[in-house]
Amino acid sequence: MEKREKIYEGKAKQLFTTDNPDLLVQYFKDEATAFDGKKKGIIEEKGVLNNKISSRIFEMLEKKGVKTHFVERLSDREMLVRKLRIIPVEVVIRNVAAGSLCKRLGIEEGMTLKEPTLEFFYKSDPLGDPMINEYIARAFGWATDAELGQMKEAAFRINSILSEFFSVRGIILVDFKLEFGEHKGEVLLGDEITPDGCRLWDKTTREKMDKDRFRRDLGKVEEAYQEVLRKVME
């Protein structure tokens, strides 16, 4: 397989074409951003850690029957993925109140929700990924009813699998973001599942083990990512 032209660069990753039109190389960077890009920095070896974490989780999800874009991990920073037509609607699943949910509703961080909740956001960096609903997604043609239904069903199933996966490793899955895309008529899970897009707390101490350590200047960011990798590899 030959790595070719760079076709996309985001805040945390780059995508390259290959000699197979159905496959891309996804490269993980060390750059970190927060607050819609207003805060920027470097988390040493984040790309390496996130590639290994995401590869492990995608492999586990595939074994559980969840269809993803993941094919294989190629190197420390690269994974081979299926080329997706990205659906510009991000899904956020919340199990514990944190982040923007607390700000919007004026509630204290840390309250366990009575049931997992799902929110949709329009994938747009310039707009700060605004919150939307299914009616808006359909009205602008960003996703069909069938796609939204598949995304919701997959998201709740992934949440059940990941919550148990992390729990037995001493981690609370507080909330997380998912992105989906279409590949040959199927809706697949794409992007990554890492401490960049998940809130993860230590089950005993409730210490943060994710990018909130960078957002809030809590320190020991690299150590938190390394600990997540150690635990997911158990």
Spell out the domains of the chain, with CATH numbers in brackets. Answer: 3-82 (3.30.200.20), 85-220 (3.30.470.20)
Name residue, tokens 């032209």: 5
3 burial level (CB within 10 Å; 0-12, 13-18, 19+): middle
* Band of residue 33 on the pLDDT scale cut at 50, 70, 90: confident
pLDDT at 125: 87
Q: Quote the percentage of the chain above a pLDDT of 90.
A: 94
214/50 Cα distance (integer angstroms): 15
- What is the DSSP secondary structure assignment for residue 1, as one 8-state letter? -
pLDDT at 35: 77
pLDDT at 162: 98
By 3-state DSSP, what share of the chain in percent is helix, strand and coil, each rounded to 5? 30, 35, 35
Alpha carbons within 13 A on the beta-carbon side of 149: 3
* Band of residue 38 on the pLDDT scale cut at 50, 70, 90: confident
CB under 8 Å to 109, separation ≥6 — which residues?
97, 98, 99, 102
Name residue, tokens 């609607």: 89
CA distance from start to end of the chain: 31
For residue range 84-119, list pLDDT tens digits in order. Answer: 999 999 999 999 999 999 999 999 999 999 999 999
The mean per-residue pLDDT over the stretch 69-85 comes to 98
The mean per-residue pLDDT over the stretch 32-41 comes to 81
- What's 61-84 look like in SS3? HHHCCCCECEEEECCCCEEEEECC
146/77 Cα distance (integer angstroms): 34
pLDDT at 188: 98
Of the two residues 33 and 211, the one the predictor is more confident about is 211
Q: Which amino acid is at 149?
A: G
CA distances (Å), origin 140, targets 18, 54, 134, 171: 32, 31, 10, 38
pLDDT at 150 over 90: yes
pLDDT at 1: 77
77/51 Cα distance (integer angstroms): 6
- What is the DSSP secondary structure assignment for residue 30, as one 8-state letter? S
